[in-house]
Amino acid sequence: MNRKQILVTGASRGIGKACAIHFAKEGWHVFLNCRKSISELQATADFITKETSGSCEILPGDVGVPSEVGRIFDQIELSGSGLDVLINNAGIAWLGLLTDMSIEEWNRMISTNLSSAFYCCRAALPYMIHQKAGRIINISSMWGTVGASCEVAYSATKSGLNGLTRALAKELAPSNIQVNAIACGVIDTVMNDLLDAEEKAALAEEIPAGRFGTPEEVALLAWQLANAPAYLTGQILGMDGGYI
């Protein structure tokens, strides 16, 4: 039996890293991607091969650039057996007033958080449609549902990702390809280092669960979605400790 294969974007740390490690532990071959944290990406790969005896390959590149995505998928094709699951996790944050955000920062947010998912889905679909099976899991945010003050661009990209998820799920259901999203609440990742210790404590008090979520909890849900009944598609699953 061929080993199943997964591509995780933004896999150098946080949620992406946790997803990569979880799938590797389950015996999957994991393609690891990130844009610039190459040393951290290599460290994730080293952990997988040395600590879990898993199988992986690093594919650095900016998934917000179509030509880079094409190169990444060319390398996946050379592996010989296509792609079973795609996790669109690459993302960046920006905190501040909309009037203080530059055009360049806006465009970077759109390309990294939203366009990257479009590019990767478009590249992955020929493999999945051919084999009449596949799973696409988009890592979204609760702010894509309710919006966040001073995170307007981030909220807009995640709202767009939710719309992409629902619409693409309908388009691909006849091909037995499921598309779902995880709308994360406050997860304990480097992205939240924008907040100081006092702000983090105050935020945790607002969450009914009383704490931030962990990347490993998100990874477990991603694993469950990859193995869920085929009838589960087009869903935005909230994972926010009861926050919204």
Task: Give DSSP secondary structure letters for 117-178.
Answer: HHHHHHHHHHHHHHHT-EEEEEEEETHHHH--TT-HHHHHHHHHHHHHHHHHHHHHGGGTEE
Q: What mean pLDDT is reported for the chain?
A: 96
Q: Is the pLDDT of residue 192 over 90?
A: no
Confidence of residue 28 (pLDDT cuts 50, 70, 90): very high
Q: Is the pLDDT of residue 1 over 70?
A: no
Q: Is the pLDDT of residue 55 over 90?
A: yes
> Two tokens at 57?
């390959």
User: Does residue 3 or residue 235 have the better pLDDT?
Assistant: 235
Q: Is the pLDDT of residue 3 over 90?
A: no
Mean pLDDT, residues 7-12? 98
Residues annotated catalytic, as ranges: 154
Confidence of residue 190 (pLDDT cuts 50, 70, 90): confident
For the segment 157-170, what is each residue's pLDDT rounded down to a tens digit? 999 999 999 999 99
Mean pLDDT, residues 172-187? 98
Q: What is the pLDDT of residue 149?
A: 95
Q: Is the pLDDT of residue 200 over 80?
A: yes
Q: What is the pTM of this model?
A: 0.96
Mean pLDDT, residues 76-82? 84
Mean pLDDT, residues 180-204? 90
Q: Which of 106, 4, 102, 13 lies closest to 55 in space, CA to CA?
A: 4
Confidence of residue 33 (pLDDT cuts 50, 70, 90): very high
Q: Which of 106, 88, 190 lies closest to 155 in space, CA to CA?
A: 106
* Paired strand residues for 183: 140, 238
For the segment 98-151, what is each residue's pLDDT rounded down to a tens digit? 999 999 999 999 999 999 999 999 999 999 999 999 999 999 999 999 999 999
CATH of 5-238, one of 3.40.50.720, 3.40.50.1450, 2.60.40.10, 3.30.830.10: 3.40.50.720
Q: Is the pLDDT of residue 75 over 90?
A: yes
For the segment 212-239, what is each residue's pLDDT rounded down to a tens digit? 999 999 999 999 999 999 999 999 999 9
Mean pLDDT, residues 76-98? 92
Confidence of residue 194 (pLDDT cuts 50, 70, 90): confident
Q: At what angle do helices 152-172 and 103-110 cross, to 10 degrees?
A: 30
